[in-house]
Amino acid sequence: MIQLFHVSKWYQKDVPALQDTNLHVPKGDFVFITGPSGAGKSTLLKLIFAEERPTNGQILVHGRNIARLPTSRIPTLRREIGVVFQDFKLLPNRNVFENVALALEVLGMPRRDISRRVWLILKRLGMHHKMRANPLTLSGGEQQRVAIARALVNEPLILIADEPTGSLDHDASDRIMEVFTDVNARGTTVIVATHNMGMVSSMGRRVVHLDSGRIVQGETL
């Protein structure tokens, strides 16, 4: 369960990236965050996994108050959340397998289990044949699928995906959405930021529309 109460984020003095935002995402929900470029979608997502701290307001994630969470408790929070970063954030000096495995290594999982699970998720995303490749040698869409694999591999309670299909063609995007629907059906709360309105409408899920740092549609407290 994720709740935002009157959350604002000012990176600079002049304009807020997010302003007085209220949002409630119940456990097991599937929400799309839409809005034009610079609307504050990524900022909203970053606040949930504490990459950024809110300037004002309170954020509750599974009962924890993120605004006041001590730095030492952040890793525990992040291990419950799988994140697909808009810029992928793959480690350039590790291969695909190692990049995905990282999300399990930080949990202290035995190496044998790691191998199996990494292989399964890569297979599911059609990236198992590139397991030993360096991310720098992958095509844009391939990198994006590795980023998705890393977010999903530890079966997180919450999946946060920032523009997860921006580098993927229509068919591949559909397949990703199927995977997301599937993990959602198993109980994972899913929050996807995207510009792809076609995809959003075809999915028929809840939509929160942002503009200039304000929720203009779908706001709930």
Partner 1 sequence: MSRLISSLLRAAANLRQNWATSSITTGIIAISLFLVGGYLMLAHNLGNVVIGWKSDVRVTAYLRDGFPISDINHLMDEISGYPEVESVIYITRDQALEEFRAMLDKENNLLEGLEEYPLPASLRVTPRRDYQNMDGINSILARMGDDPLVEEVNYGQEWLGRLEKVIKAFHFIAVGFGIILCLAAVFIISNTIKLTVLARRDELEIMRLVGATEAFIRTPFLIEGLIQGFAGSAVSLAMLTLLYRVLIARMDSAIYKILGIGTINFIPSGSVIAILLGGMVLGGLGSLASVGRFSRK
Ligand X SMILES: Nc1ncnc2c1ncn2[C@@H]1O[C@H](COP(=O)(O)OP(=O)(O)OP(=O)(O)O)[C@@H](O)[C@H]1O
Residue number, 35 or 188, with CB nearest to a copy of itself: 35
**Only segment of 84-92, 105-113, 120-128, 210-218 that touches Mg ion (CB under 5 A):** 84-92
Q: Count CB atoms within 10 A of the CB of residue 30.
A: 20
Residue number, 14 or 71, with CB nearest to a copy of itself: 14
| One of 6, 11, 76, 107 touching a copy of itself (CB under 8 A) | 11
Q: Which of a copy of itself, Mg ion, partner 1, none does residue 105 bind (CB under 5 to 8 Å by kind)? A: partner 1
Q: Count CB atoms within 10 A of the CB of residue 11.
A: 12
Residues that bind a copy of itself (CB under 8 A): 11, 34-38, 41-42, 86-87, 137, 139-142, 144-145, 162-163, 166-172, 195, 197-198
> Which residues contact partner 1 (rule: CB under 8 A)?
49, 51, 71-72, 74-79, 81, 83, 85, 89-91, 93-94, 98, 102-103, 105-108, 110-111, 150
